[in-house]
Amino acid sequence: MKKIPIGIQAFSSLIKEGFVYLDKTDMIYNLAHTKACYFLSRPRRFGKSLTLSTLHEYFDGQKELFAGTKIEQLETEWEKFPVLHFDFNVSTYKSVDDVISRISFMLSNYEDIFGKNSNATSNSDRFESLLNTIVAQTGKEVVILVDEYDKPLLNNLFDENLKDEIRKELKAFYGVLKTCDKQIKMAFITGVTKFSKVSLFSDVNNLTDISQEESFSSLCGATEEEIHTQLDSFVQAMADANKISKDDCYKELKRWYEGYHFCENSVDIYNPFGLMKALYSKKFKDYWFESGTPTFLVKLIKERNMNLSNLDN
Q: How many Å apart are CA 132 and CA 226, to the nearest integer?
A: 42
Q: For residue 110, what is the domain's CATH number?
A: 3.40.50
Q: What is residue 197's predicted lDDT score, i.e. its pLDDT?
A: 47
Residues 150 and 193 sit within 8 Å (Cβ to Cβ)? yes
**Closest to 188 in 3D by CA, of 74, 109, 83:** 83
- The dihedral through the CA atoms of 122, 127, 128, 132 has a sign that is positive
Read off the pLDDT of residues 184-228 as tens digits, 9 standing for 90 and up.
Answer: 999 999 998 876 644 677 666 678 999 999 999 999 999 999 999
Q: Residue 85's beta-bridge partner residues?
A: 145
Domain total of the chain: 2
**Is 0.85 surpassed by the pTM of this model?**
yes
Contacts of 276-279 with CB under 8 Å at 24 or more apart are 276/4, 276/5, 276/6, 276/20, 277/6, 278/238, 278/253, 279/4, 279/231, 279/234, 279/235, 279/237, 279/238
Classified as helix, coil or strand, 75 is: coil
Which domain covers residue 226, as residue numbers?
Answer: 222-291
Per-residue pLDDT of the chain (313 residues; tens, 9 = 90+): 799 999 899 999 999 999 999 999 999 999 999 888 999 999 988 999 999 999 999 999 999 999 999 999 999 999 999 999 999 998 899 999 999 999 999 999 999 999 988 788 999 999 999 999 999 999 999 999 999 999 999 899 889 999 999 999 999 999 999 899 999 999 999 998 876 644 677 666 678 999 999 999 999 999 999 999 999 999 999 999 999 999 999 999 999 999 899 999 889 999 999 999 999 999 999 987 766 556 667 777 777 777 777 766 5
Final residue belonging to a domain, choices 180, 198, 216 = 216
CA distances from 284 to 228, 249, 293 (A): 18, 10, 18
Is 97 in the same domain as 232?
no
Do residues 129 and 242 share a domain?
Answer: no
Of 190, 216, 242, the position where a domain reaches its end is 216
| 272 HSE (CA, 13 A, CB side) | 26
Q: Contact at 8 Å (CB) between 81 and 154? A: no
Rounded Cα gap, residues 312 and 103, in angstroms = 42
